[in-house]
């Protein structure tokens, strides 16, 4: 019997971008943003990806969610290459892997009522039907009620808006949520609420979570396993507690000392 493949994975992914051309007769140089990356998440697992600004985290999520095609390497959904998939498989992948972005104020259209915004993925993924029951269900899952449906984004706080963005990602009943810095635009006082919500969703719905952050403590709070990315390479992977207490790579050590510096600056009030 073959073991169950990860629900979502990338194998040996490399991505390079060109520098802007600086001279007319010289070919533009390239720089490697991701270098032979292996990364995976199993069903029901929460995996973290942590690294400094510019390390390649967002590029990795763009490739993992199929928004960008890697120059080399493969992206696998339930063991099958998404770039080799037929239309039906591709549609199932697009429904099953949903993203939550950093700033809900820029990811939700200010002129669109919440009800319309929540139906947007159903429209773009061509999932037919009357989705009223589903709207009620997902709003309940993120701790809001149906009175939100007729309101506009400006009527909500940042934390509530991030709940709405999470509800929108849940609408098509995904198997994987990919959250790129989902709390770093939020007030520190409400960050923990959104982190708890993500943890609850993983536990209660059996979702897989890929959680991106630059702060190791936030990743440690939310995930079962984490990878540290630096300069486009995964430099270390392990249970977050291990990374915290026995960091091996120098880049992991830097992330740990950054957390400790911030925490002492906040006089014990940090997460
Ligand atoms: N489309 C692109 N064209 C050229 N360079 C790019 C492109 N996208 C990203 N880069 C570069 O790739 C590197 C990694 O960027 P990326 O956005 O993946 O980092 P990040 O880890 O998400 O950083 P942050 O924590 O600031 O969000 C950066 O040097 C960035 O300038
Ligand atoms: Mg980023």
CATH number at residue 14: 3.40.50.300
**127 part of a folded domain:** yes
Pocket test for ligand 1, best of 14, 34, 59 (most atoms within 8 A of CB): 59
Minimal-distance CA residue to ligand 1 atom 3:
17
- Quick check: CB of 49 below 6 Å from ligand 1? no
Give the strands of the sheet with 8-18, arranged side by side: 30-41, 8-18, 72-77, 80-81
Q: Where are the beta strands (DSSP E) in 56-155?
A: 72-77, 80-81, 97-100
**Helix H or strand E encompassing 11:** strand 8-18
For residue 128, what are the contacts with CB-CB under 8 A and spacing of at least 6?
none
**Residue at 24 is within a domain:** no
Contact 200, 46 (CB under 8 A): no
| pLDDT confidence of residue 1 | 59
- What integer pLDDT is reported at residue 28 of this predicted model? 72
Distance from the alpha carbon of residue 141 to the mean position of ligand 1, in angstroms: 33
CA distances for 75 relative to 50, 88, 100, 245, angstroms: 20, 17, 19, 32
Nearby residues for ligand 2 (ion, Cβ within 5 Å): 57-58
Q: Which residues lie across from 98 on neighbouring strands?
A: 177
For residue 15, the surrounding DSSP H or E stretch is strand 8-18
Asked whether 28 lines ligand 1 (CB < 6 A), one says no
In a domain, 269, yes or no: no
Neighbours of 220 (CB within 10 A): 20
Instruction: Answer yes or no: is 173 within a domain.
Output: yes
Q: How far is 142 from 145, CA to CA, in rounded Å?
A: 9
Atom of ligand 1 nearest to the CA of 232: 14
What SS3 state is found at 143?
coil
Ligand 1 neighbour 269 (Cβ under 6 A): no
Q: Whose CA is nearest to atom 9 of ligand 1?
A: 59
Q: Is 174 in the pocket of ligand 1 (CB under 6 A)?
A: no
What separation, in Å, do the N-terminal and C-terminal C-alpha atoms of the chain show?
A: 43
pLDDT of residue 262: 63
The residue range of the domain holding 212 is: 8-18+30-263
Pick the ligand that lies closest to the CA of residue 179: 2
Whether residue 259 is contained in a domain is answered as yes
In short, whether 232's Cβ falls inside 6 Å of ligand 1 is no
Which residues partner with 80 through β-bridges? 77
Instruction: Output the pLDDT for position 25.
Output: 76
**SS3 at position 101:** coil
Q: Is residue 268 part of a domain?
A: no
> What is the predicted pLDDT for the residue at 259?
82
C-beta 56 within 6 A of ligand 1: yes
Is 270 domain-assigned? no
Does ligand 1 have an atom closer than 6 angstroms to the CB of 17?
yes
Number of domains in the chain: 1
Question: Is residue 130 situated within a structural domain?
Answer: yes
- With contact defined as beta carbons under 8 Å apart, do 139 and 167 qualify? yes
Ligand 1 binding pocket includes 247 (Cβ within 6 Å)? no
Q: Which residue has the tokens 């969610």?
A: 65
CA 173 to CA 169: how far, in whole Å? 8
In order along its 271 residues, the chain shows pLDDT tens digits of: 568 899 999 999 999 988 777 777 777 778 899 999 999 999 999 999 999 999 999 999 999 999 999 999 999 999 999 999 999 999 999 999 999 999 988 889 999 999 999 999 999 999 998 899 999 999 999 999 999 999 999 999 999 999 999 999 999 999 999 999 999 989 888 999 999 999 999 999 999 999 999 999 999 999 999 999 999 999 999 999 999 899 999 999 999 988 876 655 544 443 3
Distance of CA 222 from the midpoint of ligand 2 (Å): 18
Ligand nearest to the CA of 51: 1
Q: Where are the beta strands (DSSP E) in 115-243?
A: 176-180, 208-213, 225-230, 233-238
Give buried/exposed letters for 255-271 (b at 16+ CB in 10 A, else e): bbeebeeeeeeeeeebb
């Amino acid at each position: 019997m073959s073991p169950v493949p990860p629900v979502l994975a990338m194998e040996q992914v490399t991505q390079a971008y060109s520098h802007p051309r600086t001279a007319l007769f010289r070919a533009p140089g390239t720089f490697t943003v991701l270098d032979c990356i292996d990364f995976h998440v199993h069903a029901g697992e929460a995996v973290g990806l942590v690294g400094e600004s510019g390390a390649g985290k967002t590029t990795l999520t763009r490739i993992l969610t199929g928004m960008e095609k890697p120059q080399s390497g493969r992206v696998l959904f339930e063991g099958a290459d998404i770039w080799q998939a037929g239309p039906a498989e591709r549609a199932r992948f697009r429904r099953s892997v949903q993203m939550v972005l950093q700033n809900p104020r820029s990811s939700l259209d200010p002129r669109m009522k919440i009800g319309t915004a929540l139906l947007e993925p159903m429209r773009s993924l061509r999932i037919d039907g009357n989705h009223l029951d589903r709207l009620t269900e997902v709003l309940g899952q993120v701790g809001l009620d149906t009175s939100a449906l007729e309101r506009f984004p400006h009527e909500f706080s940042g934390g509530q808006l991030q709940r709405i963005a999470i509800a929108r990602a849940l609408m098509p009943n995904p198997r994987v949520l990919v959250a790129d810095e989902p709390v770093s635009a939020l007030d520190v006082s409400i960050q923990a609420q959104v982190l708890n919500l993500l943890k609850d969703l993983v536990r209660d719905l059996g979702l897989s979570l890929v959680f991106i952050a630059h702060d190791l403590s936030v990743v440690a709070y939310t995930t079962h396993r984490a990878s540290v990315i630096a300069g486009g390479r995964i430099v270390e992977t392990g249970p977050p507690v291990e990374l915290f207490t026995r960091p091996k790579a120098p880049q992991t050590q830097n992330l740990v000392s950054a957390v400790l510096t911030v925490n002492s600056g906040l006089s014990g009030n940090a997460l």
